[in-house]
Amino acid sequence: MSVLLIAEHNNKELKPFTLNATTAASQIDNDVHAVIIGHNCDEAAKALSGIPLIKKVIQVEAAHYENFVAENFAPVILKLAENYSHIISSANTFGKNLMPRIAAALDTSQISDIIKVIAPDTFLRPIYAGNAFATVKSKDVKKCVTIRPTSFDSCESSGGSAPIEKADPVEEFVKTKFIKREEVKSDRPELGTARVVVSGGRGMQSGDNFKLITSLADKLNAAIGASRAAVDAGYISNDHQVGQTGKVVVPDLYIAVGISGAIQHLAGMKESKVIVAINKDGEAPIFSVADYGLEADLFEAVPQFLEELNKLNTIQK
């Protein structure tokens, strides 16, 4: 049977992780169908149909789908579910919010946040903040699976021409009303997909000092991350949090500045290709995962870092 992928989008464009989720879906079964639920989302639906791995697109439109309310989305998926063996989405806040509602209604025990497809019913997933990996096998007839986007490559996004079928919307769930979304707009690369991430922790001591992180990120064309401690202290907004309950990032280069390296932070970054830690406490746990550790006062080291970078002829973008 086919796999149903729930596309994530903003009604105009697909969110980049949809491409990673498509890769994961295609590793379960070749016959990947994608459902897009939204309002005035033709452009995004078209983009979805252009993904070569997707064989069919199902588009469901209504005004009450504009803001991705899970209570409205789940019944749409349930109506389609009987034709599919698996329902797949990303394990980001979109998929985490939505998939369990679908799974419970299907009486399926969901498998969250997989990092590898071993067989159509068997998956690898991290538990205990990534301190252990569990191989799990679903005994349910239908499988509801969320995938960790950074553990799957993004697939080719153009060249395909899957047919787009329209399906009827389901009545609105009136007990939940969307009010507003405050998105932090930025010209920087997205934290989840950036090649370089520069993160600050409690060692930054203030929100104002985060401008050191910003300068370094500017220089390296990097996204800005933060430890939970820095977010809790109000130095920077929550969308920058890297860790067990924040974002999981796997950049080529991760630079941790003034971050001690709590277990829950390591869970979000320790798969990065190259890790740099700058911390004045030589015993900080962050050094145990760092490829290059610099034991130094960040307020001296970061300005020096900028100077050294300025001396280079070229910096990779």
Minimal distance in Å, beta carbon 52 to other proteins?
A: 26
Q: Is 88 helix (H, G, I), strand (E, B) or coil?
A: strand
- The structure tokens listed for 155 are 């697939």
Nearer to other proteins, 166 or 273 (CB): 273
66 lies in the binding site for other proteins (CB under 8 A):
no
Residues 188-247 that bind other proteins (CB under 8 A): 192, 196, 220, 228, 231-232, 237-239, 244-245, 247
Nearer to other proteins, 206 or 238 (CB): 238
Residues 87-146 that bind other proteins (CB under 8 A): 91-94, 96-105, 107-113, 122, 126-140
> Which class for 75: exposed (0-12), middle (13-18), buried (19 or more C-beta within 10 A)?
middle
Q: Please enumerate in sequence order all residues whose Cβ is within 8 A of that of 174, keeping only pairs 6 or more positions apart, or say none.
A: none
Nearer to other proteins, 164 or 233 (CB): 233
Binding test (CB under 8 A) with other proteins, winner from 12, 274, 281, 297 = 274
Minimal distance in Å, beta carbon 261 to other proteins?
A: 12
Nearer to other proteins, 74 or 170 (CB): 74
Q: Please enumerate in sequence order all residues whose Cβ is within 8 A of that of 5, keeping only pairs 6 or more positions apart, or say none.
A: 18, 21, 22, 25, 32, 33, 34, 35, 54, 88, 89
Q: Please enumerate in sequence order all residues whose Cβ is within 8 A of that of 90, keeping only pairs 6 or more positions apart, or say none.
A: 8, 17, 18, 20, 21, 146, 147, 149
Minimal distance in Å, beta carbon 165 to other proteins?
A: 26
Residues 250-269 that bind other proteins (CB under 8 A): 252-253, 263-264
